[in-house]
Amino acid sequence: MSEPNNNQNNQNNQNQGQQSQQTQTPDFDYDKLASLISGKQSVAEDTVLKAYFREQGLSSDEMKQAISAFKEKKAANTPDLSKLQSDLTAANSARMAAVIEQKATLEAVSQGVDVTSVPYILKMADFNGVADEKGEIDSEKLTAAIKKVLDDVPALKGESKKNSNNGFNKIGGDGKNQNTTDDEVLRGIFGLK
């Protein structure tokens, strides 16, 4: 009975050896391989262009000029990936700044800031680190940034509710002293004493 068991162990070891050989990727120099491919493509491109221009009946000088013109036009029509990437990064940054500004405006108003003071708060607040790399905004950090500005410059918060008289200003006398002269009433209306 030990023979079949040994055969199974040998087969399992062979299967594992074959699997480990199949999953290992050979080591190679990627940059060297890419340059070889690029070189072959360039040689093949030049050969095709020379053959085409030869069929058109161009001389060797005319072929060189035509190949040069073709390569320049090809380069001009090839998009600049680094410029596209930088444009994309700039657009994403601008979008994130707009979203942060919108949420910060809502947060400032909810903290009782007068609407006319919001632009100043947005300019003074430090919103670095408010958004993570996924573009999600941490509302606690946003609130803390606005509170920091309001703590530093409390005048931006505006008048407190207790001094606002529910939005109505007092006009005229208070009506308590009925035995006043016209002069005293006028002085009271205009705030003179």
- Please say whether the beta carbons of 125 and 149 come within 8 A: yes
Residue 11 tokens, joined: 């087969």
Residue 164 tokens, joined: 């606002």
pLDDT of res. 162? 41
pLDDT of res. 161? 44
pLDDT of res. 30? 73
Residues of the chain with pLDDT under 50: 1-2, 160-164
Q: How many residues does the chain have?
A: 193
DSSP 8-state symbol, 25 = P
DSSP 8-state symbol, 111 = T
pLDDT of res. 192? 76
For 48-75, how does the pLDDT look when each residue is reduced to its tens digit (9 = 90+)? 888 888 888 888 888 788 888 888 888 8
Residue 24 tokens, joined: 């290992």
Query: Distances in Å between the alpha carbon of 25 and those of 29, 34, 57, 141?
Result: 12, 17, 49, 46
Residue 5 tokens, joined: 């068991």
154 vs 81: CA distance, rounded Å: 48
Count, in order, helices (H) and strands (E) of the chain: 7, 0
Q: CB-based contacts of 115: which residues, under 8 Å, 6+ apart? A: 109
110 vs 106: CA distance, rounded Å: 6
pLDDT of res. 171? 58
53 vs 63: CA distance, rounded Å: 6
89 vs 96: CA distance, rounded Å: 11
15 vs 22: CA distance, rounded Å: 11
pLDDT of res. 77? 82
